[in-house]
Chains A and B, each alone.
Chain A
């Protein structure tokens, strides 16, 4: 049966899928495995505690039955292998059912142990630990298309690692100034090109993107391309620098475009045009007049991620009040949806939400002042082939599916 990849249209309703105890139900999800990746550590030399909080997770392309992923905290990256066990050998000659050695005089014939089915067991084991590569806090990791190397970026440096080698890494970008007093920008995110294993991009706190070619030099301090949009002088404020800092950068699946997220917008850049983005979408421009309060309560420092759908026609990012936004690049339509328990009963169709600014208010609109800034959706992911999305809202994970798709099952 050939999957028909439906191009999502924002007029299609999105349906919530909820985990239940019926594993064979269509579109039901349940927790597969839980494990502790990192523990808090203490750097005695610097008298610093290293938080166990995970900053980024990246899956490796699957090469055998096992799944592998990289997870990183501020300082250490770990490679985890996830395997399933659903069979167990029975009928040993020398051991009995409990594993105790048999009395050899009772063994009168030999048998070949057979594999019998058992309840699914998921095993996760750490395969590599990539430590001591970073002085500053790691903000991103990206697996190369060669499936052999990956890079990790901190505020000032980017390192290239080989997945099989943990005791050394190559520094490929270093923007630390000789005199730290001259520091004006830091690296905020980085990603390898999906097809060209020599190309990668990194974003800065000033809102610029640098495309680098590893074939040009061992140390890629000199960019091949610099993508930067001149600042609009009319919108200058105390917080202009903060809101132009890029929190996430993602290549499109085609490799032709890049998506960036800064505090108020998502922008699509064409690799062939450095002067400005080809598309800019307002995520929550109504916050522009509230930047001072958002600075005070630290929300202005929130780092939102962004995502492409499989066909690169729709982009998605999170916002506050458990809202997330989708923008259709072709129709130029956008929608705001909410990930919350009330609106996400199983099979429920998500209702588009609206934030009203000013006096014109429809029923069910939320006013800007009643937005809950503690409910932020920083992490979202889109299935690479299907219209299924995962939304992380504080301590809940929501999975939604395009209704058109779910009707096909």
Chain B
């Protein structure tokens, strides 16, 4: 159970770092974000493989897994200008895989606050953040 808690905490921290990297001076650092996404993936695997009851629903997570890790990597791999644009929402090819979460958000704002974040499926959180 404590592995699950630690893993969940690491997932939240990692998502926070990915989000903050968007507003950092000098643009998104590919190296750092690659490392953060690897930590995110490890933490998520531990979270899912821990047999203890989860903190949130796990339906449909398996099919989301590869798709969303791939989305994160492809976002970092793009020229990043799409991420840094002021207007929310899609339109660029690189962001095709995303869901409609970001349109609801103010640019530059996480649309959920912390207690809600804890209960949401971390992959939905990732999509919401972007």
Chain A residues near B46: list those with CB within 8 A: 238
Residues in B neighbouring A139, C-beta threshold 8 A? 31
Contact A74 B81 (CB under 8 A): no
Given contacts A47-B81, A137-B30, A179-B74, 4 further A-B contacts (CB under 8 A): A49-B26, A182-B73, A183-B34, A205-B31
- Stretch from A239-247, A355-363, A366-374 contacting the other chain: A239-247
With contacts A49-B27, A137-B29, A239-B39 taken as known, whether A205 is within 8 angstroms of B34 at the C-beta atoms is yes
Q: Are A155 and B30 touching (Cβ within 8 A)? A: yes
Contact status A46-B80, CB under 8 Å:
yes
Which label, helix, strand, loop or mixed, suits the secondary structure of the A interface? loop
- B contacts with A: majority SS: helix
Given contacts A183-B34, A186-B31, A205-B31, contact A46 B26 (CB under 8 A): no
B92 lies within 8 A of chain A by Cβ: no
Instruction: Determine if B109 is an interface residue (Cβ-Cβ < 8 Å).
Output: no
Say whether B112 faces chain A, with CB atoms less than 8 Å apart.
no
Query: Is the CB–CB distance between B32 and A301 below 8 Å?
Result: yes
Size category of the A interface is 35 or more
Which chain A residues numbered 164 to 191 have a C-beta less than 8 Å away from chain B? 179-186, 188
Residue of B nearest to A156 (CB): B30
Residue of A nearest to B10 (CB): A238
Residues of B within 8 A of A182 (CB): 73
A296 within 8 Å of B by Cβ? yes
How far, in whole Å, are A265 and B19 apart by their CA atoms in the complex?
30
Partner of B78, one of A50, A180, A186, A242: A180
Q: Which of A51, A180, A184, A238 contacts B42 (CB 8 A)?
A: A238
Instruction: Give the contacting residue for B70; candidates A137, A181, A185; CB below 8 A.
Output: A181
A182 — nearest CB in chain B belongs to which residue? B73
Is A48 a contact partner of B39 (Cβ separation < 8 A)? no
Q: Which residues of B contact A136 (CB under 8 A)?
A: 30
Is B130's CB within 8 Å of the partner chain A?
Answer: no
20-55 of chain A: CB within 8 A of chain B: 45-51, 53
* A46 pairs with B30, CB closer than 8 A: no
B79 within 8 A of A: yes
- Shortest CB-to-CB span from B29 to chain A, Å, is 6
**A188 contacts B6, C-beta separation under 8 Å:** no
Kindly list chain A residues whose C-beta atoms are within 8 Å of the C-beta of B17.
298
Whether A292 is near chain B, meaning CB under 8 Å from some CB there, is yes
B126 at the interface (CB under 8 A from A): no
The interface residues of chain B lying within 8 Å CB-to-CB of A239 are 39
Instruction: State whether A48 touches B34 (Cβ < 8 A).
Output: no
9 A–B contacts from the bound complex (CB under 8 Å): A48-B80, A50-B27, A74-B26, A139-B31, A181-B77, A186-B34, A239-B39, A241-B39, A296-B13
Contact across chains for B27 and A301 when beta carbons are under 8 A apart:
no
5 closest A-B pairs by beta carbon, nearest first, are: A180-B77, A51-B26, A181-B70, A48-B27, A155-B30
Inter-chain contacts of A186 with B (CB < 8 A): 30-31, 34
Measured between beta carbons, the chain A residues less than 8 angstroms from B34 are 183-186, 205
Q: Most chain-A Cβ atoms within 10 A of its Cβ — which of B30, B73, B78?
A: B30
Chain A residue contacts of B15, Cβ below 8 A = none
Contact B81 A46 (CB under 8 A): yes
- B38 contacts the other chain (CB 8 A): yes
- Docked pose: A181 CA to B7 CA in angstroms: 23
The answer to whether B32 and A48 touch across the interface, beta carbons within 8 angstroms, is: no
Measured CA separation A292–B3 after assembly (Å)? 13
A185 to B30, CA, bound (A): 10
In angstroms, Cα B7 to Cα A186, docked, is 25
User: Taking CB as reference atom, which chain A residue is nearest B75?
Assistant: A180
Would A295 and B13 count as touching, CB distance under 8 A? yes
In chain A, what residue has the closest Cβ to B11? Answer: A238
Is B10's CB under 8 angstroms from A180's CB? no
Q: Does A53 lie within 8 Å of B73, measured CB to CB?
A: no
Tell me, rounded to whole Å, the shortest Cβ–Cβ distance linking B34 to chain A: 6
Q: Does B85 contact A (CB under 8 A)?
A: yes
The residue in chain B whose Cβ has the minimal distance to the Cβ of A298 is: B17
B35-A205 in contact (CB<8A):
yes
Give chain B nearest CB distance to A327 CB in angstroms.
26
| Residues on the B chain within 8 Å of A155, using CB | 30-31
Contact of A48 among B7, B31, B78, B81 (CB under 8 A): B81
| Complex Cα spacing A213 to B31, Å | 25
In the complex, how many angstroms separate the beta carbon of B102 from the nearest chain A beta carbon? 17
Quote the shortest CB–CB distance from B52 to chain A (angstroms).
18
Query: How many Å from the CB of B121 to the closest CB on chain A?
Result: 19
